[in-house]
């Protein structure tokens, strides 16, 4: 149950807010909505084209959440209702983006345009824009960088609105937030030919008892942070605007740094524990980036967040070790998807009767 009487980091009372969450039905949005409903008195206007991941909150809202959360099904690219919802809100949180690397090559224009919302340029609103651009931007001929460049441009646009028109904003740069409900399992709750991000890709391989595919040897280094730790950081930003306004925060866990190969090995070990199934004799295979993602893919070798600012302004530090968050996530993946994957595989291999 949501608790009243909340105070910010400086001891001041936090007034209940009406928050417009754009992209509420996605991975991050679903966890944020749960957090807001469970621990705060804030009201949420949940905006998305689908609500599968928040259906338990909005279809219909349970009695104890009546009047606290409403779902608004609309496409932010072409629906004029969005501006009205933003004007109703004290705070707008934009989580909308295409953020699967496989789409950066094949849908570069959609990837770029998915990051822009004209209606959010309202100087009287404190806007939290979810962003993800910790990358060095690659060659123009490499379509993979369309996403990162769009994110950099929207950062500059929001910052300029703040400087010239008084827009109050906070920008968040997530460094690989992972956990339950991230992306999809191809052929189960996403397209059969879809390629989700690394956690769901490896989960899909494990569920199907297939070798995990390591792109270019899996030598790239990444950090991973548990979604619930990251949402704690977002809530601190929401309820401490005086400390967060005008800042760009990296949100990640430098202590959870591994190569993608090490991640695959760790996930294989953890999945064997939670599923009771022994790992394959050859649990990984190497594939080229061109084979896996197509022509034009490129990547950065290492991404480590500098946590100095968020620790100074909000006192936030991540808590969950990588192995623990993988165990929680893979337990969810196994319970949620194993039977559906098994059924799908049986249907795919069944031969029609003559």
Among 147, 226, 271, 293, the active-site one is 147
| DSSP string for 46-92 | EEES--GGGHHHHSSPPGGGTTTEEEEE--TTT-THHHHHHHH-SEE
Residue 43 burial by Cβ neighbours in a 10 Å radius (0-12, 13-18, 19+) = buried
Using CA of residue 12, residue 13, residue 15, residue 20, what is the dihedral sign?
positive
CA distances, 228 to each of 35, 181, 252, 265, 328 (Å): 9, 12, 12, 24, 11
Q: What is the dihedral of CA 221, 177, 91, 164, to 10 degrees?
A: 10
Annotated catalytic residue 126: no
| Rounded distance between C-alpha atoms, residue 51 and residue 65, angstroms | 16
Euclidean distance between CA atoms 28 and 162, whole angstroms: 25
Written as six digits, the tokens of 25 are: 């039905």
- Rounded distance between C-alpha atoms, residue 338 and residue 333, angstroms: 7
Partner residues linked to 286 by β-bridges: 214
Tokens 């807010």 locate to 17
Q: To which H or E segment does residue 212 belong?
A: strand 212-215
How many angstroms separate the CA atoms of 113 and 281, rounded? 44
DSSP 192: T
Q: Which two tokens stand for residue 89?
A: 């809100």
Residues taking part in catalysis: 147
């Amino acid at each position: 149950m949501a608790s009243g009487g909340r105070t910010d980091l400086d001891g001041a009372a936090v007034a209940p807010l009406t928050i417009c969450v754009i992209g509420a039905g996605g991975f991050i949005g679903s966890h944020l909505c749960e957090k807001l409903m469970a621990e705060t008195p804030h009201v949420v206007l949940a905006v998305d084209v689908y609500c599968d991941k928040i259906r338990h909150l909005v279809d219909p809202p349970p009695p104890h959440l009546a009047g606290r959360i409403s779902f608004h099904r609309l496409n932010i690219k072409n629906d004029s209702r969005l501006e009205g919802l933003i004007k109703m809100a004290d705070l707008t949180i934009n989580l909308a983006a295409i953020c699967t690397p496989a789409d950066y090559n094949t849908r570069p224009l959609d990837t770029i345009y998915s990051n822009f919302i004209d209606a959010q340029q309202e100087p009287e609103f404190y806007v939290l824009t979810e962003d993800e651009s910790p990358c060095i931007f690659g060659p123009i001929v490499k379509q993979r960088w369309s996403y990162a460049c769009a994110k950099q441009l929207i950062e500059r646009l929001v910052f300029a609105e703040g400087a010239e028109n008084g827009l109050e904003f906070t920008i968040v740069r997530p460094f690989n937030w992972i956990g339950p409900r991230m992306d999809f399992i191809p052929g189960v709750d996403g397209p059969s030919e879809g390629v989700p991000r690394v956690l769901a890709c490896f989960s899909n391989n494990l569920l199907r008892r297939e070798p995990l595919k390591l792109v270019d040897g899996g030598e790239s280094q990444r950090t991973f942070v548990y979604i619930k730790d990251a949402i704690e950081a977002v809530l601190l930003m929401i309820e401490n605007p005086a400390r967060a306004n005008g800042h760009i925060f990296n949100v990640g866990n430098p202590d959870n740094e591994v190569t993608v190969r090490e991640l695959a090995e760790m996930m294989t070990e953890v999945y064997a524990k939670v599923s009771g199934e022994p790992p394959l004799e050859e649990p990984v295979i190497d594939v080229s980036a061109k084979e896996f993602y197509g022509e034009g893919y490129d990547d950065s070798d290492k991404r480590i967040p500098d946590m100095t600012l968020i620790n100074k302004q909000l006192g936030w530090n991540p808590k969950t070790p990588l192995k623990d968050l993988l165990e929680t996530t893979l337990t969810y993946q196994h319970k949620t998807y194993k039977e559906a994957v098994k059924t799908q595989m049986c249907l795919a291999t069944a031969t029609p009767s003559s």
